[in-house]
């Protein structure tokens, strides 16, 4: 049976998982939903009883519970999220039409920040007279009047002169005679006026305690006539500041508590519905594509759409409307505006027979929904989805893998050309899988074989070049030896033949030296030794032979310990110094040095002489490579620096050669990088 058939049959087994698992997921979700709704209703009822036990804490004045009527012109002052800037612009005010009291061309809004009341008003259709815009004398300008009435029926008024724009100053005024302001100015009231297209806008700030229960804001001209503003004193409706603090103490983690009045306006809110990252819960995504629609049809539970988004000023829809009608309830609200689905429970709040409003508790629905989605993913994705896709994926993967293997096999079979040369051009070398590793291994092997073949091809020419001269000497000496009868001539030819034979022997010894070094390296035992001492000993021996003036030593006085073989290091130095002596002129100088830091050791041999030939610095350490030219009695097969490279590699060092900066010579350096 082929691999493709075996994988196909194996993937079909995934379709055997029971469909009953989907039904189990539905029942599990239904039970979790019922349990969460019951727990949330219990929590809401308990907290609502705590709040209702102190009904006076809901409103600044108990009379506001039922007196508020937006259609009559009463104002609701919600908790503003930020403190407005007194610039007479409404860009920082909530865009909720129900909050604005509109009368004629006048629009009035109120907001609360802590214990401070903010008022914003636009008086359209009331252009300021020229005298007012020019800053006319008192009595000739329009005036803005703020009229309040407290719970005892006591009324107070303040008048502000509008000079076309800028800060306004409030002064107490006599009721009924706002054009006669009193002195001094009321510093607790501040504001700014700004001209608009058909009138002017004003933004005021004053302590909430000064506003009383009811207020009105209107404009009078220089004759005391009301030309714009509130039609009558409206009720100022707002929550008690103590209610916010009370909800903060009651709110738990990932729970949002809200209190709404009998009209649905939000009096206070505390808590957050932020996702719980530690629990690894994710938000439920909206329906996307055919597969998601199928999942929803299989396991979906009824959820109500999110109500109109008026938060944070009001809460609309179920179950708040039912709670305001006296019935507790809980609903699951679908995700909207990028928020997670939530469970919302609302219960009515009563103080005896008086309706106080509704208490709302909200929690994210992600816990139940994640459990549902997890079960769905495991049962459907792993079975039906993965099973069907796996069948196709296995077939495609098997075909693709076979194609890649055939390509690699054909490339490996044709790597050897008819002329006997290696031409490695393997595919899949850039792949990052096991097949790519195999292709790279084949490619590295073929590269090394090509290098070996190139070495073998060049070996014949190099050997013929080195062997031609001694063979010629031996051959000519033997010919002359057989042709002469004089004893003196025979002796000369005999010596020449023996010298040629000795030179041939030296060539053969040099050829086998690299092999012997490589074999000896494999059998060498590593010991701990002082590199500085070895360098000093070898340098002293060469100074005794060639003189300190010819060979200088620069070796650190501190011990430089390494793990390796001191004998091999001495042999490496011999090769480097012999190479330097060959290229150094008779009067030139050679420097042997060892520098060390906490992380490095650098051994170098520097000689005066000609620079490296162009293009040879990258190949100078290869076998059978030499920069020498001209005849010489000593054979040079280019193995000295190659042996030095082998010894350096055994000791974990990097060897390099480069010209001096002034091109007066060459330096060969062996560098160790020590691990910290």
Q: Are 635 and 507 in contact (CB under 8 A)?
A: yes
- Indicate where the chain has its CATH 3.30.565.10 domain(s): 524-673
* Range with top average pLDDT, 49-63, 72-86, 474-488, 595-609: 595-609
Domain 524-673, CATH 3.30.565.10 — does that match?
yes
Number of H helices, E strands in the chain: 15, 25
Supply the CATH classification number for the domain 68-237.
Answer: 2.60.40.1190
- The helix (run of H) or strand (run of E) holding residue 365 is none
Distance, CA of 458 to CA of 466 (rounded, Å): 12
* Residue-by-residue DSSP string for 620-667: TTSTT-----S--SS---S-HHHHHHHHHHHTT-EEEEEE-TTSSEEE
- Mean pLDDT for the chain overall: 76
Report yes or no: 654 and 667 within 8 Å, Cβ to Cβ. no
Task: Evaluate if residue 309 carries a pLDDT over 80.
Answer: no
pLDDT at 346: 94
| Element (DSSP H or E) covering residue 668 | strand 665-673
Q: With beta carbons less than 8 A apart as the criterion, state whether 123 and 105 touch.
A: yes
With a cut of 50, say whether residue 420 has pLDDT above it: yes
pLDDT band at 279 (very low <50, low <70, confident <90, very high): very low
At 271, is the secondary structure helix, strand, or coil?
strand
pLDDT band at 222 (very low <50, low <70, confident <90, very high): confident
Diameter over CA atoms, the chain = 160
Percentage of the chain with pLDDT > 70?
Answer: 68
- The segment(s) of the chain belonging to CATH 3.30.450.20 are 17-58+241-373
pLDDT at 220: 84
124-128, 154-158, 579-583, 614-618, range with the lowest pLDDT: 614-618
Which of 180, 196, 88, 183 shows the shortest CA–CA distance to 143?
Answer: 180
Residue 340 has pLDDT above 70, yes or no: no
Please give the pLDDT value at position 191: 93
User: pLDDT per residue over 428-472, tens digit each?
Assistant: 667 777 777 877 787 777 777 776 676 666 666 666 666 666 777
Name the E strands within 283-371: 329-333, 342-351, 354-364
Give the pLDDT score at 60: 61
Whole-angstrom distance, CA of residue 155 vs CA of residue 212: 9
E-assigned strand segments in 42-115: 75-76, 101-103, 106-113
What fold, for 17-58+241-373?
Beta-Lactamase (3.30.450)
Alpha-carbon distance 676 to 674, whole Å?
6
Distance separating alpha carbons of residues 448 and 445, to the nearest angstrom: 5
> What percent of the chain clears pLDDT 90, i.e. is strictly above it?
9
pLDDT band at 28 (very low <50, low <70, confident <90, very high): confident
CA dist list (Å): 395 to 3, 15, 389, 432: 9, 17, 10, 21
More confident residue, 559 or 127: 559
Mean pLDDT of the 240-249 span? 80
Tokens of 140: 């000739």
With b for 16 or more beta-carbon neighbours within 10 A and e for fewer, the 315-352 pattern comes to bebebbbbbbeeebbbbbbbbeeeebbbbbbbbbbebe
- pTM of the full predicted structure? 0.46
Q: Inform me whether the pLDDT recorded for 506 exceeds 70.
A: no
Q: What's the pLDDT score for residue 298?
A: 60
What residues does 602 pair with on adjacent strands? 595, 671
Q: Name the residue among 278, 282, 256, 286 with its Cα closest to residue 269.
A: 256
Residue, of 20 and 671, whose pLDDT is higher: 671
Domain with CATH 2.60.40.1190 in the chain: 68-237
Residue 142 dihedral angles phi and psi, to the nearest 5°: -70, 150
Q: What is the pLDDT of residues 617-655, one digit of tens each?
A: 556 776 655 555 444 455 455 677 878 888 888 888 998
Q: Return the number of other C-beta atoms located less than 10 Å from residue 439's C-beta.
A: 22
* pLDDT single digits (tens) 292-301: 556 556 655 5
pLDDT of residue 642: 79
* DSSP letter string, 480-530: HHHH---HHHHHHHHHHHHHHHHHHHHHHHHHHHHHHHHHHHHHPPPEEEE
What separation, in Å, do the N-terminal and C-terminal C-alpha atoms of the chain show?
A: 56
């Amino acid at each position: 049976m082929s691999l493709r058939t075996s994988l196909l049959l194996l993937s079909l087994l995934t379709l055997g998982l029971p469909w009953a698992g989907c039904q189990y997921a539905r029942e599990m979700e239904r039970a979790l939903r019922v349990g969460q709704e019951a727990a949330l209703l219990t929590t809401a009822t308990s907290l609502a009883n705590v709040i209702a036990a102190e009904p006076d804490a809901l409103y600044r004045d108990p009379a506001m519970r039922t007196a508020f009527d937006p259609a009559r012109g009463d104002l609701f002052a919600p908790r503003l999220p930020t403190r407005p800037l007194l610039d007479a612009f409404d860009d920082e005010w909530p865009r909720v039409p129900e909050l604005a009291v509109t009368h004629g061309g006048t629009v009035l809004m109120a907001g609360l920040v802590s214990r401070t009341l903010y008022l914003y008003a636009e008086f359209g259709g009331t252009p300021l007279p020229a005298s007012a815009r020019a800053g006319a004398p008192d009595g000739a300008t329009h005036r803005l009047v703020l009229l309040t009435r407290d719970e005892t029926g006591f009324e107070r008024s303040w008048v502000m002169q509008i000079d076309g724009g800028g800060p306004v100053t409030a002064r107490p005024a006599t009721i009924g005679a706002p054009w006669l302001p009193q002195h001094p100015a009321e510093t607790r009231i501040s504001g700014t006026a700004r001209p608009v297209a058909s009138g002017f806008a004003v933004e005021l700030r004053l302590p909430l305690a000064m506003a009383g229960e009811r207020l009105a804001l209107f404009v009078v001209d220089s004759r005391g006539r009301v030309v714009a503003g509130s039609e009558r004193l409206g009720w100022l409706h707002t929550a008690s500041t103590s209610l916010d603090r009370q909800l903060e103490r009651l709110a738990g983690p990932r729970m949002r508590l809200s209190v709404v009045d009998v009209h649905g306006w939000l009096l206070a809110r505390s808590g957050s519905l932020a996702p719980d990252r530690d629990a690894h819960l994710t938000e439920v995504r909206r329906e996307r594509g055919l597969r998601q629609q199928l999942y929803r049809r299989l396991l979906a539970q009824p959820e109500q759409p999110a109500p109109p988004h008026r938060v944070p000023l009001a809460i609309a829809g179920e179950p708040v409307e039912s709670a305001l009608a006296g019935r507790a309830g809980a609903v699951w609200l679908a995700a909207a505006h990028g928020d997670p689905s939530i469970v919302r429970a609302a219960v009515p709040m009563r103080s005896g027979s008086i309706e106080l409003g509704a208490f709302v508790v909200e929690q994210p629905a992600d816990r139940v929904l994640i459990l549902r989605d997890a079960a769905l993913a495991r049962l459907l994705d792993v079975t039906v989805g993965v099973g069907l896709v796996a069948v196709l994926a296995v077939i495609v993967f098997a075909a693709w893998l076979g194609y890649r293997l055939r390509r690699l096999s054909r490339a490996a079979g044709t790597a050897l050309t008819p002329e006997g040369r290696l031409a490695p051009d393997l595919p899949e070398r850039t792949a990052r899988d096991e097949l790519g590793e195999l292709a790279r291994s084949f490619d590295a092997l073929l590269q090394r074989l090509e290098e070996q073949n190139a070495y073998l091809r060049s070996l014949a020419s190099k050997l013929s070049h080195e062997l031609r001269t001694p063979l010629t000497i031996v051959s000519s000496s033997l010919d002359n030896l057989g042709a002469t009868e004089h004893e003196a001539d025979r002796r000369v030819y005999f010596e020449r033949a023996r010298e040629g034979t000795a030179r041939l022997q030296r060539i053969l010894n040099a050829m086998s030296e690299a092999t012997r070094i490589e074999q000896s390296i494999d059998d060498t035992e590593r010991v701990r030794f002082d590199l500085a001492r070895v360098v000093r000993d070898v340098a002293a021996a060469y100074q005794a032979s060639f003189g300190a003036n010819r060979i200088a030593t620069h070796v650190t006085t501190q011990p430089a310990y390494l793990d390796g073989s001191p004998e091999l290091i001495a042999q490496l130095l011999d090769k480097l110094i012999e190479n330097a002596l060959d290229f150094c002129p008779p009067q030139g100088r050679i420097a042997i040095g060892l520098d060390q830091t906490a992380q490095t050791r650098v051994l170098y041999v520097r000689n005066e002489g000609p620079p490296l030939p162009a293009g040879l610095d990258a190949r100078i350490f290869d076998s059978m490579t030499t920069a020498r030219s001209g005849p010489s009695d000593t054979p040079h097969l280019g193995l000295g620096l190659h042996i030095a490279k082998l010894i350096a590699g055994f000791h974990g060092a990097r060897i390099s050669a480069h010209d001096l900066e002034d091109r007066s010579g060459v330096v060969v350096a062996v560098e160790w990088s020590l691990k910290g």
